[in-house]
Amino acid sequence: MQEVINIAIGTFAMRPYVFAFFAAYLIAGVFHLGWRAIFLFTVIGYLISFASEFSSIHTGFPYGWYYYINATQGRELWIAGVPFFDSLSYVFLCYCSYSTAIFILSPLKRSGFNLIPLETISIRKSFAALVVGSLLQVYLDIVTDPVALQGNRWFLGQIYGYNTPGIHFGVPVSNYLGWWLVSAVMIFALQRLAIRLPKNGNRPAGVTTFPLSQLLGVVLYLSVIAFNLTVALLIGEMTIAISSFFIVFLPFVLVFILALRRINNYKKEELGDHVRDFPWSPASISKK
């Protein structure tokens, strides 16, 4: 029993940044989609990501051949040769990528200090949200994986490696292709949960609409990027930091400028569709 307690404590104590991001995901996700959707996605998303990692370290699919180094086994939770925290991280990376995709694809309404994405059920379940969301998640891995591979130089520790070092700071292209596939599967699952609303028209339990609450997923997405760029700078990996910065800088600028152009530049029908699907939205209060 004491060993189980020690492993549970070590799982949190050794990866506080992972669980900080995970806590932020729970808050953002519940406020956005509700307790039920987020609970189910946490379980389903974890199982998908764990299965993909277990498969890849044994068969090379979908990420290519890589291996985990059990340096922390006995001090934190591992499941069938895969660190628990690693598969868990896919869940919050997927949600914030999907949430950011919804922000990109939705008209925007400003009401006082609040900025409301006029999302609809149609946007949530759209093929565009699937493609944009999965690519956004791949972008996160393009930034995070080269830094994680240098884990022996920061508090992550050296926990994994590739059988054959790849061309992108040691990361093979197969890893990013695998991420795109797995991200698409995870976002597809999340979409199915995000469109299941109470039939009585009430808001899902946990959904909250305080000012800017629907942008927390976007903030989480940017925070993950900022964290990894900061780590790259602190360990002296200037090439990784600079290349990663310019990989994400242009998309960020484009999204920011287009968002400014979309604010209050929506059609009456778009506002009506949003309020019809989400009658609890603050947009309904000041509906034009």
The residue among 180, 217, 188, 41 whose CA lies nearest residue 125 is 188
The residue among 137, 132, 144, 133 whose CA lies nearest residue 168 is 144
pLDDT of residue 57: 97
Structure pTM?
0.95
Where residue 145 falls (left for φ over 0; alpha for ψ -120 to 50; beta otherwise) is: alpha
pLDDT of residue 188: 98
- Which regions of the chain are under pLDDT 50? 288
CB 14 within 8 A of CB 79: no
pLDDT of residue 6: 79
pLDDT of residue 213: 92
